[in-house]
Structure 1
Amino acid sequence: MRIVVSTEQRYSRTPDGRVWSSTGAANAFWQRYRAVFEEVRVLARCAEVPGRPVDAQRVDGDGVEVHPLPQYLGPVQYLRRLPRLRRALRTAIEPGDAVLLRVPSAIATLLLRGLRGPFGLEVVGDPYDVFAPGASRHPLRRPLRWWFTRRLRAQCRAASAVSYVTERALQSRYPAAPGAVTAAYSSIQLDEDAFADRPRKDTGAARVSLRLVTVGSLEQPYKGVDTLIEALPLLVDAGLEASLVHVGDGRCRADLERLVRERRLGGRVCFAGAVPPGAPVRLFLDDADLFVLPSRTEGLPRALIEAMARGLPAVATNVGGVPELLGGARLVPPGDPVALACAISALAADPAAMAAASARNLARARNYSAETLARRRAGFYRALRVRTAPDRVEEVVSGAD
């Protein structure tokens, strides 16, 4: 049986028809569905490019097919390309396919308007938080927040099977219908190389210097890196020789670099830019003393779990599924540099607490090992195969060209 999965991932397609990813979710990601289904068809936006992008990974092949959708970015391009998008989606699903939609997603919402038959969802984010004040600068932030949140609640109530990347947070805001199959597992998949051999040791002395690291996209301000930059002078005033490395890139980088100059922190902040996932990112984590996640919104943050797997103590904001990973004094409100600086300095002043946090984080991250999550996913996919395979599919997407 084939499973059709929609995603908001954006890919590149070369003239030979091959599909490439420069930002993750390549072929290995989609192979997880083949633990239960023989074939996978991925519905994703594809930009036509003349050649393979630098450092890109192959997406299609070995039982994975990409059904290309028109490339667009933002609501304006979405509306302009809506007729082409509808035409592409009409041929996406065939009788006998199981359907699983990764949400929130404009593509999934359009697809569901005319889908006949049961379907499953993987809830991987929270639009209520994504479009919260301070998390997004989009001029339509308020109506988009209302619309996407309302649609996601309705979609979860209509689905036959729903999985969530959190254990509690998303479930409480977007509950499934009574009788629906539900599961909790993250999209994260950590192999054995991702885990440190042992926790970090108690140094026996409070730190006078502290190397901070954070990881995340800078495409939108919701990662809260500006809050962490604002906290740095407070740490220095408290007597800590604090420095920061940020791993990741995006449109907001120029604004953050300007903030660094305004706060006269040029020697303390380094923007490493885009770094390939896996071992290259782990080098930055292993070189740091403390991981900080200052996000204004999160689902279940992969970057934090990867840092915990390296035995790295962490401080983060109390958003989304983060409280399922950290607790107590390690959580602070979003957008509050004073609270963030206090939590960081308190942890740095207590070497025993730093060592205990390292051990706890490493043990907690084991819940996200590839073997553990593979069992949870396979159980959900088996139930999905039974519950959501439609007998027939009529018109997939309603609306005229």
Structure 2
Amino acid sequence: MTRLVVTVEARFVRTPDGATWTCGPPDRGFWDRYLTVFSGVRVVARVTEAQRRPPSATRVDGDRVEVWPVPYYVGSYQYLLRSRAVSRAVVASVGERDAVLLRVPSLLGTLLASRLSRVGHPYALEVIGDPHGVLAPGVVRHPLRPLLRQWFTSRLRQQCRSAYGVAYITERYLQESYPPGADSLTTTYSSVDLPAGAFRAEPRSGKVEGEVPTLISIGSLEQMYKGIDTLIEAVALLTDSGMPVRLVHVGDGRFRPHLLDLATRLGVAGQITFRGLLPPGEPILAALDAADLFVMPSRTEGQGRAMIEAMARGLPAIGSTAGGIPELLPPEYLVPPDNPAGLAASIRQLVTNPDRMAQASARNLNRAHDFSASLLAERRTAFYQAIRMATEDRAPTSVRRRVRR
């Protein structure tokens, strides 16, 4: 059997006993999808040392899964200081007989793709995001943002043309921006892999559970791309118009103080709860079950994992028109990014209409079943088997065939 090397942009923590931990996805269970085809998985990621396991952290490595540590850095300045060591670690992660799958966009993936192309070692991609959107004006605040946007976008397009296999998490959006090479093996499957327990048994009734509707949003606050500032402004507009709502946000990051200050200035700090990071599984499900409406006002988005998880709990949802969100929701539940007035109006129209809430719940629950583990497993497995064959044969053109939905 062949081992698979996978690059990820996650940041992990290693304790003195050699175990590797994460406070968010992907944890150990994520790699089982690859182990159905490969003998083992080597995860290439940034790793920092710690004396004890972080609170609420879950294990990353384990049976047939190892983590290949890359020198830890955050941001472009720290990367420049460690760039040589990072490059050496990434290049050394791949053996002659290893299959390689790069989860992109990714700096580590870009470094490795460049090396593998020079030596003629085949690699495949899982395209899980859009750097052109992530690095758009108003989304990321960085003096080098325009250059980084151009560089990552052009690198991802080149990688998609050069890879012998490309899997996309969206049905159309990413394919149009980052088309594969003419002879590339291509497929579509979600990174969201919902087990049976993730689904609510029945749709919701449509009635708001309390006197004040509870909205929930989920996402990192390391950058402003989730649009939570737009949502806070919408909460203030609703409150000023005589319809107070509560907002619970799950996720954390360096812009949390900025958002708290915004809520205070708008007079709605008492209506907004920042829950911080929650472990996957029951804690996330409980937070979703306690809410009335899921809101994703993103400025950029790949597929919208949190949206799909919320839909599986039968939550009515409103999202922005960014990225792959329109593939999940009908037009009447979409609002352009950076439009707090439009977002407030959509929230009001939905939560004040129990029939529409019930219809949205049923529709979302049904759509979420498209992302059940059992439906996606066959398509992913076929792609992974082709990766393994191409690596073992070292003749990727012999297996360049289309894998269709």
Q: With structure 1 as the length reference, what TM-score do the two structures score?
A: 0.94
Distance in 1, Cα, partners of 2:17 & 2:325: 42
Whether 2:197 is the aligned partner of 1:193: answer: yes
Greater Cα offset, 274-283 or 325-334: 274-283
Report the Cα offset of residue 163 of structure 1. 0.5
Inter-CA distance 132–239: structure 2 relative to 1 (3 Å threshold): same
Whether 2:242 is the aligned partner of 1:239: answer: yes
Distance in 2, Cα, partners of 1:140 & 1:53: 32
**Native 8 Å contact 1:218 1:248 kept in 2:** yes
Distance in 1, Cα, partners of 2:53 & 2:278: 18
Q: Deviations over 1:218-245 (max 9, x none)?
A: 1111111100111112222443231111
In the TM superposition, what are the counterparts of 1:108-257 in structure 2 within 5 Å?
108-115=109-116, 116-203=120-207, 209-257=212-260
Q: Which amino acid aligns with 1:290?
A: L
Q: Which amino acid aligns with 1:92?
A: S
Q: Which amino acid aligns with 2:57?
A: A
Q: Deviations over 1:190-219 (max 9, x none)?
A: 11111111001244x999732111111111
Q: Which amino acid aligns with 1:296?
A: R
Q: With structure 2 as the length reference, what TM-score do the two structures score?
A: 0.93
Report the Cα offset of residue 51 of structure 1. 2.6
* Structure 1, gaps ≥5 residues long: 393-401
**Native 8 Å contact 2:221 2:255 kept in 1:** yes
Distance in 2, Cα, partners of 1:33 & 1:284: 30
In the TM superposition, what are the counterparts of 1:2-401 in structure 2 within 5 Å?
2-115=3-116, 116-203=120-207, 209-389=212-392, 391=394
Distance in 2, Cα, partners of 1:5 & 1:381: 12
Distance in 1, Cα, partners of 2:61 & 2:92: 18
**Native 8 Å contact 1:243 1:269 kept in 2:** yes
Q: Which amino acid aligns with 1:122?
A: E
Inter-CA distance 210–55: structure 2 relative to 1 (3 Å threshold): closer
Report the Cα offset of residue 89 of structure 1. 2.5
**Native 8 Å contact 1:218 1:249 kept in 2:** yes
Report the Cα offset of residue 45 of structure 1. 1.0
**Native 8 Å contact 1:207 1:240 kept in 2:** no
Greater Cα offset, 135-144 or 15-24: 15-24
Report the Cα offset of residue 352 of structure 1. 1.4
Aligned length: 391
Q: Deviations over 1:137-161 (max 9, x none)?
A: 1111111111100110000000000
Report the Cα offset of residue 56 of structure 1. 2.0
Report the Cα offset of residue 15 of structure 1. 2.5
Between the two structures, name the one with larger relative contact order (CA 8 Å, sep ≥ 6). 1
SS at match of 1:113: helix
* Structure 2, gaps ≥5 residues long: 396-405
Distance in 1, Cα, partners of 2:179 & 2:136: 20
**Native 8 Å contact 1:300 1:321 kept in 2:** yes
**Native 8 Å contact 2:320 2:335 kept in 1:** yes
Distance in 2, Cα, partners of 1:101 & 1:13: 22
**Native 8 Å contact 2:168 2:188 kept in 1:** yes
